[in-house]
Amino acid sequence: MVNLEADDPQFTAAIRDATPYLASLVASALEFDDLRCATLDIIESAFNSVAAHGFNPDTVSRVLVALNPQLFVVWDMAIREAYFPDDEPNGATYGQFLSVMRMAALSIASDARTTHGIDDAAGHISEALDLNPAIPLARFIDEYNWLTLTRAATAQPSPASV
């Protein structure tokens, strides 16, 4: 088990190694930036640089989310199994996963704009929930994935249903 304490040398080294890759993505957001090959290569390198410090794919994705919550989405085992059940959990597959999440973000943004006249879906939801500061769309996608995939996979049957 890898320690995620901020003063842990392994954690500090992982952040240090990922930072050069992520510097060019600092202003990127899932629903606004096109994930071209060059960007996906950067994401793959950042993911693999954190993983090289002994972190599992779930933890790597959470580290990346902490570094850029507007762009990255959590990728735990239940989510990986739902989207890419036969692929290795590495930086390349995480980049593919983010491409799928970007398509979801674009679909949400487009539907909000065309159907409801809402230009900023995440801002609108954040305001409706009285969240300040507003939460990025990638975080709402995280919540959706957690509710529909992770929580569903770990849900135990209630005694009444057994």
Residues 109-120, mean pLDDT to the nearest whole number = 90
Q: In percent, how much of the chain has pLDDT > 70? A: 91
Under a CB-based contact definition with an 8 Å cutoff, are residues 96 and 57 in contact?
Answer: no
Q: How confident is the model at residue 3 (pLDDT cuts 50, 70, 90)?
A: very low
Mean pLDDT taken over the chain = 88
Residues 76-105, mean pLDDT to the nearest whole number = 94
Q: How confident is the model at residue 154 (pLDDT cuts 50, 70, 90)?
A: confident
CB atoms within 10 A of CB 92: 16
Residue 9: is the preceding peptide bond cis (ω within 30°)? no
Task: Output the DSSP codes for 96-153.
Answer: HHHHHHHHHHHHHHHHHHHHH--S-HHHHHHHHTT-SSPPPHHHHHHHHHIIIIIHHH
In whole angstroms, give the CA distance from residue 88 to residue 58: 13
Q: Please say if the pLDDT value at position 2 is more than 60.
A: no
The reported pTM is 0.83
Poorest-pLDDT segment among 24-33, 62-71, 119-128 = 24-33
Domain ranges of the chain: 9-154
Q: Please say if the pLDDT value at position 25 is more than 70.
A: yes
